[in-house]
């Protein structure tokens, strides 16, 4: 995951292992949906390790809300970045 801000009024969705680390992992625990292919670590991304069976995955969404109301926009530095995460179990 990244701390970067999504484009205005857009969201980024991440599917990761629960509580993902801030560093790149070459051999992570399951961190992707079961339909994904395995992949090696590349750049700032950890290796892809598809989940099987009944494993936990974390779904995180980051949304950059840009308000058009001038008074509220001034009070929020012209945007609000909302982030929410939930942990689910796979059912493969």
What is the number of structural domains in the chain?
1
Containing domain of residue 15, as a range? 10-89
Q: Model's pTM, two decimal places?
A: 0.83
Interstrand relation of 80-89 and 10-16 (parallel, antiparallel or unpaired): unpaired
Please check whether residue 66 lies inside any domain of the structure: yes
Please check whether residue 38 lies inside any domain of the structure: yes
Residues in the chain: 92
Helix, strand, or coil (residue 72): helix
- Alpha-carbon gap, residue 29 to 50, rounded angstroms: 9
| Spatial contact of 73 and 39, defined as CB atoms under 8 Å apart | no
Per-residue pLDDT band at 72 (split at 50, 70, 90): confident
Q: Which residue has the tokens 């009070």?
A: 75
Q: What is the pLDDT of residues 13-48, one digit of tens each?
A: 999 999 999 899 999 999 999 999 999 999 999 999
Please check whether residue 48 lies inside any domain of the structure: yes
Please check whether residue 59 lies inside any domain of the structure: yes
Q: Which residue has the tokens 């970067």?
A: 4
């Amino acid at each position: 995951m990244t701390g970067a801000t999504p484009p205005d009024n857009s969201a980024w969705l991440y599917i990761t292992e629960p509580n993902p680390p801030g560093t790149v992992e070459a051999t992570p625990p399951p961190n992707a949906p079961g339909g994904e292919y395995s992949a090696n670590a590349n750049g700032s991304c950890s290796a892809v390790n598809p989940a099987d069976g009944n494993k936990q995955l974390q779904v995180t969404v980051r949304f950059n809300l840009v308000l058009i109301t001038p008074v509220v926009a001034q009070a929020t530095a012209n945007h609000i970045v909302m982030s929410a995460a939930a942990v689910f179990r796979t059912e493969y």
